[in-house]
Amino acid sequence: MENFQKLNRLKAVLADAGQTNKWLAEQLGKAPVTVSKWCTNTSQPDLQTLAKISDLLNIDIRELLVSKQPK
């Protein structure tokens, strides 16, 4: 299996919101397999889609991204 760089936190954010990949796919009009790839960091949503996701989940868009800054 390839080693994908973890760029988004979509899986964790959906879990925190009590929502599923299927729900998000329906809200965005995307295939469930597409959302699954985003959740596993196999592929990434574009910025416009990230903005829609942050609106749907009522969170700051930055919460969807993996920070490279030490906390």
Q: For domain 10-64, which architecture applies?
A: Orthogonal Bundle (1.10)
- Map the chain to HEC letters: CCCCCCCECHHHHHHHHCCCHHHHHHHHCCCHHHHHHHHCCCCCCCHHHHHHHHHHHCCCHHHHECCCCCC
Which residues, listed in sequence order, are joined to residue 65 by a DSSP beta bridge? 8
The confidence score (pLDDT) of residue 70 equals 60
The confidence score (pLDDT) of residue 2 equals 52
The confidence score (pLDDT) of residue 4 equals 64
The confidence score (pLDDT) of residue 1 equals 44
Encode pLDDT of 4-49 as tens digits.
Answer: 678 999 999 999 999 999 999 999 999 999 999 999 999 999 999 9
